[in-house]
Structure formats: C-alpha cells, structure tokens
Amino acid sequence: MCLPLLRRQLLNMSYKVLLCTAVVLAAAVSADKPNIVVLFADDLGFGDLAVYGHPTSTTPNLDKMAKEGLVFTQFYSASPVCSPSRVALLTGRYQTRSGIWPGVFGAASTGGIPHNETTSAEVLKQAGYATAIVGKWHLGVGKNQTYLPTNHGFDYYMGIPYSHDMCPCLICFYPNQACFDKCRTGDTPCPIFENTRIIKQPADFTTLTATYTNAATSFIQKNAAGKTPFYLYLAYQHTHHPQFASKEFRNSSIRGTFGDSLSELDWSVGEVFKTLESSGVADNTFVFFTSDNGPSLTRQIRGGNQGLLKCGKGTTYEGGMREPAIAWMPGKVTPGRTMELAATVDVFVTISKMGGGKIPTDRPIDGVDMAPILFNNEKSNRDFYYYYPFGPNPDDGVFATRYKQYKAHFYTKGGLAGKPYRDEDCWGSTPKTKHDPPLLFDLVTDPSERHPLSGKVYEEIIKQITDMTMKFNKEMTWHESEIHGSNSSAMPCCKPGCSPFPTCCACGQEIQQHLFSPALELL
Ligand code: MG
C-alpha cells in the first residue's frame, strides 16, 4: 500500500475512533444528566390551584403533576413582585445583590440584570446543556438588547420580555373582546422577541399561550431527538393582569376570567408533559412548577387567591411571597406533601448541582440544595428565610425573617389591594410601619398571621431572630439599583425611528410558520 493511501486510511480510522468516542461520550452525558424544566407562573397565589384547596379551579394537569410529585407547603419567592423574584430564581441570590430593586422593570427601562451575574442557564450551558427560555423575562432589554436572555446563558429566547400590561392592552379574548383595562397606552405595543429580534408587535394575546407552548415543545423535541440534555425555563404571562384566553379557554371555567387564564396555563403544562412522554425523556426529566409572587388583590375577583394566607402581591405577609410549588421526576422525586422550608433561590443551586454545573464560589449564594427534600424525604438545608419588600432600601433591610416555624415582622406595609378588600393591612394606602418590638407569629399553628405571640415564647425566640436579622442586614452587599433608569426611546420598537411613536411600532408575521425554521436549527 502506498504511503499516502495508508496515511489517509489511518486518518479515517482516527476520525472514526474519535467520532465513536464522541458519540459514546454524548450518550453517556445525556444518560447521566437529567433534563430540567422550570415552569413559572405569574401572580399565581398560594390558594389558586385545586391541589392547594381552591374549590373551582380546573387544573387537571397540575393536579396530576401534584399527585405524582412533591407538593411544597412552605415555599417562598424572593420578592412580592416580578423582576426581583425572577433574578433570584435565576442566580440563587437575593435581588439586592444584583441591583434588581426597588420595584420592577418597565418597557422604558434602560437597566437590566448585570452581566457579571451568573444565571442557571450559564451554569448548565457550561455543563453541556441546551438552554432556552420561553415567555416573560422581565430582567431588562437595554441598548442593543444587551440584557435579553441570549446574553445571559440562554441559547434561545422567545417571548414578551416584561409584563403584558406594560403595553396598551387591546384584545384579550377571542375573537375580538377587549381587555378589562387599557393598561399603559403611552408605551410601545407588546413585542414578541425571538432571541434579540422582534418578530411580532403587538403580540396577539389570544394565541400567545399556544405560541409559547409550541416553542417550548419544539425545543424539547429537538433536544430529545438529538440526545442533548436540555434546560427549559417556561415563564408564562398567565395569570398576571390583564387575564386573557384563547378561543378554546374563553368561558371554559366556572371561576370566570381568572379561571380561564389558569385553565389555559394548565393546558400548556399538560402539553409539556405530553411532549416529554412522546419524546421518550419523561423518565429523565426534572420538572419544577412555581410562581413569582402572590395574587394581585387589587384586581379583586379577576385577581388570584392567597388561600388562608394574609394579603397578597406587594406585601411581605405570607400571601405576598409564599407560593404553590410542585416538583416532579418519576422514580426520583418522592411523591407527597412536604412542610420543609424552601425558596426560589434554592432552585438555582438544586438544578445547577443536578446538571453537574459549577456554582460560582467568588460570591455569596443565598440558595441551598433542595435535594434532601426532593429525593430522600429528609430535612431541608434551610431553617430560615428573609423577606425583602416591594421597594427595599439598605437602611431598613429586610422587612421580616422566618426562623423555623416563627416569623418576625420588623416592618409591614400595605400591598396593592384597594379599599374594598376587607383587610386594611393589605391596602396600597397603608403606610410602612416599624415594629419595635417586632411582631412574632408561629406559622405552623397560625399560618394566617392573626395572633401575635407574647410572653415567654416571644422572649425566647425574638432575640435570636433579631440577632440573625441584624447580622444578615449588616453583611448584605447592595448592588447599585438597575431599576431607576428610564427613557421612552428605550422602549422596544420593531421599526426604530418610526412616526408617530409609539403606535407606529407594528410588525407582524405568522409566528407559527416562522418559528424554529432557522433559529432553533442552531441549537
Ligand atoms: Mg408577578
């Protein structure tokens, strides 16, 4: 055999050996690493799901997930409002560390999640995962879309990057029924981004959930077929105001408008589970469902329900931050109910470890691993939690602290409820009150925070909670606020420089046809 031919055959062999090795490694990686799906509802209260006691909600898919999975009864979001809650979910750190305070981003915001924050998508991408977010981002858009998810570890993004009431609200129900509010008429119409490009403006709320679901299930199918471990973060606009629903779900629930919105969300959850099954990856996928903050009581019967908890969105009472949460992984997650303490900051640590990712060691991480609760029916790694309010500041620090079954309120403030609501502690007009000495409740015997403790139990517990809170406040590093910057020219517009602004920002195409032809092929 001539030498050049021999060399070529050897090279071919080496290539084949390499290829085989790569295939074997890929198979090993995909077999070892579970897929991860985080389903995130918006403004869904502790009492909104049937499995949490709501008598007229229709959520068969979440009911099934709960029956087969683990239902948390003491699970907390990091904030009673959207943006800070989301940054904590994605970074495992309280929102103060990343500057996502006070309040939330709007369409005209110029700031966003700092680039030196490390998201779960960045950790899992480094560990070999395909990563995607579908839905509400709410951590900034910024100049040249610098803060959008594809610049923070996600391979793919599709969705409205903030709340859908941060735009003019037009049609919420099929075929042409108006929303119950006009929302922000001076802002640009709600954009749907794909990665960093607007593909539709305004969004069509009557098809939005189907569009999100299609994106999510396509991502699952694509990566299941390619045997690539995947991380999907599906952040619904439901059940935030204004509630909306497609033709199939309008008037589908006896609970009214909120019930229709919730039923559509539940349908989408069911489609995700169906796709996991049909793609053959259900047995190796961890699914976690929760919500960003409590119900918007100002919407009255069109808002959600906090069940037996006190107040709702915007407050540090339990109704503002204790959330429904369900974990599911057949054969791995122990089915049942747990009273163990856990929080959204823990999701970052839990899924990063699950995926074999490297958790940053150069910064404080507030989350702990939920694995003992999830897989071994053991005690939680946390016995405390700190509650930051809607608009925190370094002088006040946290408003409340939970330690074991006890909760101390150092400050309280009203939330977003209006005066018809029966409890004036929840009203928007109720000012900040400093409690010195602090109020103390036993949440095991008094989850509704009705009966402040006193006497011997109070004396025994309050000093311990006060000391730990003072220490926590002292050690907290507050990143400069990213929320303050705002400029109407920063509002997303598919026709930059058009007139009359902002109504001229209108573009559209058939999203269903467009999706995943070129962009998802890249994953
Ligand atoms: Mg919210």
Identify whether 240 is a catalytic site residue: no
Strands (E), 271-348: 285-291, 322-328, 336-343
| C-alpha of residue 331 to centroid of ligand 1, in Å | 32
- Whether 248 and 367 map to the same domain: the answer is yes
Nearest partner of 520 among 112, 146, 218, judged by Cα: 218
pLDDT of res. 202? 96
Contact 242, 190 (CB under 8 A): no
The dihedral through the CA atoms of 354, 64, 44, 264 has a sign that is positive
- Whether 469 and 494 map to the same domain: the answer is no
- Whether 439 and 345 map to the same domain: the answer is no
- Whether 346 and 445 map to the same domain: the answer is no
| C-alpha of residue 355 to centroid of ligand 1, in Å | 27
Nearest partner of 315 among 404, 446, 423, judged by Cα: 423
Distance, CA of 293 to chain centre: 9
| C-alpha of residue 388 to centroid of ligand 1, in Å | 15
| C-alpha of residue 79 to centroid of ligand 1, in Å | 9
Task: For 130, list phi and psi in degrees, rounded to 5.
Answer: -80, 140
- Whether 358 and 307 map to the same domain: the answer is yes
**Residues spanned by the domain of 267:** 34-383+489-521
- Whether 353 and 470 map to the same domain: the answer is no
Whether 25 is covered by a domain: the verdict is: no
Whether 197 is covered by a domain: the verdict is: yes
| C-alpha of residue 295 to centroid of ligand 1, in Å | 8
| Amino acid at site 1 | M
pLDDT in tens, 61-75: 999 999 999 999 999
- Whether 244 and 300 map to the same domain: the answer is yes
Contact 320, 311 (CB under 8 A): yes
- Whether 320 and 456 map to the same domain: the answer is no
Whether 23 is covered by a domain: the verdict is: no
Distance, CA of 243 to chain centre: 18
What's this model's pTM, rounded to 2 decimal places?
Answer: 0.92
- Please state whether the peptide bond connecting residue 102 to the residue before it is cis, i.e. omega within 30 degrees of 0: yes
Whether 45 is covered by a domain: the verdict is: yes
pLDDT in tens, 396-437: 999 999 999 999 999 999 998 888 899 999 999 999 999 999
Whether 7 is covered by a domain: the verdict is: no
Check which CATH number belongs to the domain holding 242 and give it. 3.40.720.10
The single residue of 82, 169, 190, 311 carrying the catalytic annotation is 82
- Whether 416 and 503 map to the same domain: the answer is no
Whether 6 is covered by a domain: the verdict is: no
Residues of the chain short of pLDDT 70, as ranges, are 1-31, 509-523
Nearest partner of 189 among 203, 172, 171, judged by Cα: 203
Query: Rounded distance, CA 457 to CA 461, Å?
Result: 6
Whether 115 is covered by a domain: the verdict is: yes
201 three-class SS: strand
| C-alpha of residue 401 to centroid of ligand 1, in Å | 21
| C-alpha of residue 301 to centroid of ligand 1, in Å | 17
Identify whether 82 is a catalytic site residue: yes
Give CA separation, 122 vs 42, 368, 460, 514, in Å: 23, 18, 44, 27
The single residue of 138, 164, 238, 241 carrying the catalytic annotation is 138
- Whether 355 and 448 map to the same domain: the answer is no
| C-alpha of residue 334 to centroid of ligand 1, in Å | 29
- Whether 343 and 230 map to the same domain: the answer is yes
Query: Rounded distance, CA 311 to CA 318, Å?
Result: 7
Whether 481 is covered by a domain: the verdict is: no
- Whether 453 and 515 map to the same domain: the answer is no
| C-alpha of residue 86 to centroid of ligand 1, in Å | 9
Check which CATH number belongs to the domain holding 435 and give it. 3.30.1120.10
Structural domains counted in the chain? 2
